[in-house]
Amino acid sequence: MLSEEQVAAYDRDGFVVVPDFLPLRRCNRLKARANELVAAWEPSAAKTVFTTNEQVRESNREFLESGAATWCFFEEEAFGDDGELIQEKALSINKIGHAQHDLDPVFKEIVYDAGLRDVASDLGLTDMLALQSMYIFKQPSIGGEVGCHQDATFLYTDPITVTGFWIAIEDATLENGCLWAEPGGHRGPLRQLFKRNWPDPADADGTVFDELDDTPLPAPPTDVHAPGNTSMVPLEVAAGTLVVLHGLLPHWSGPNRSEFSRHAYSLHCISAAADYPAWNWLQRPVDLPLKPL
């Protein structure tokens, strides 16, 4: 699947861009399925009248349980002061996560049958398990920023093996919040760990950050058209492009203030041989084991 140059780019930069990975008809099929899941999604009645603080707490519990579910998460800016959606539901969802690749036939097809295994294998990643996936909408006008981070903070294994497979379902541009990444940044240290409060089960709906290293993550661009002093570069890519991201690579995406959505599907895999600590936020029940890519 990958050329020698692409394999070399991944080793050097910590990411590789693979154009034309997913045919547009498959992108469109996945988009249609995501839209169907949102149309069928009934947000809990309580959620619309929760205060912000309660919403955050509730979201956290939903988040922690979503490792084994197909859950729709709202954009932070989706609700007005009255607790009601500002725009229609279809334009208010931030993402669908995090186990649809094992629960939904259309998502399954993309993860297990579109060539990701071969790409991983070309990069020397031969025993990947499909841990977590997200269908990301990055909605017009309100699509939220994703702060600069390393994926190994959120999906940790010993040794670090988490690898991101990010597929543009729509064109990603400077205007609609494309990915930015720091070439070579995967050789830097892991800064933080995101953990469930552990081992107290009473705290199981809480999470904490452990600080590991105070090397700063790269600053986001001050303006995507005049990025200023950032070490990150924009990854403007066409629909169907795959970007593979090393788990230590710092990356960021800005808010979407344009009139165009920026749909993407992101899968995170880990090595079957690595240790996956029980304090990771994402835990699968025994009846939904991880499957090889």
Give the footprint of Fe ion on this chain (CB under 5 A).
Answer: 151
Decide whether 132 or 261 has the Cβ nearer to Fe ion: 132
Contact yes or no for 61/40 (Cβ under 8 A): no
Decide whether 70 or 266 has the Cβ nearer to Fe ion: 266
Q: In the complex, what is the shortest distance from the CB of residue 89 to Fe ion, in angstroms, rounded to a whole number?
A: 25
- Measured from each CB, the residue nearest to Fe ion is 151
Q: In the complex, what is the shortest distance from the CB of residue 33 to Fe ion, in angstroms, rounded to a whole number?
A: 22
Q: In the complex, what is the shortest distance from the CB of residue 103 to Fe ion, in angstroms, rounded to a whole number?
A: 22
Q: In the complex, what is the shortest distance from the CB of residue 278 to Fe ion, in angstroms, rounded to a whole number?
A: 22
Decide whether 99 or 217 has the Cβ nearer to Fe ion: 217
Q: In the complex, what is the shortest distance from the CB of residue 73 to Fe ion, in angstroms, rounded to a whole number?
A: 15
Decide whether 13 or 151 has the Cβ nearer to Fe ion: 151
CB atoms within 10 A of CB 60: 14
Q: In the complex, what is the shortest distance from the CB of residue 43 to Fe ion, in angstroms, rounded to a whole number?
A: 25
**Distance in angstroms (rounded) separating the CA atoms of residues 97 and 131:** 11
Sign of CA dihedral 220, 223, 228, 231: positive
Decide whether 50 or 194 has the Cβ nearer to Fe ion: 194
Decide whether 151 or 182 has the Cβ nearer to Fe ion: 151
**Residue 15 in tokens:** 């990411």
Sign of CA dihedral 54, 60, 65, 69: positive
**Distance in angstroms (rounded) separating the CA atoms of residues 220 and 254:** 8
Decide whether 27 or 136 has the Cβ nearer to Fe ion: 136
Burial 253-288 (b: 16+ CB within 10 A, else e): bbbbebebbbbbbbbbbbbeeeebeebbbbebeeee
The angle formed by the CA atoms of residues 261, 68 and 100, to the nearest 5 degrees, is: 40
Q: In the complex, what is the shortest distance from the CB of residue 2 to Fe ion, in angstroms, rounded to a whole number?
A: 21
Decide whether 91 or 119 has the Cβ nearer to Fe ion: 119
Q: In the complex, what is the shortest distance from the CB of residue 284 to Fe ion, in angstroms, rounded to a whole number?
A: 20
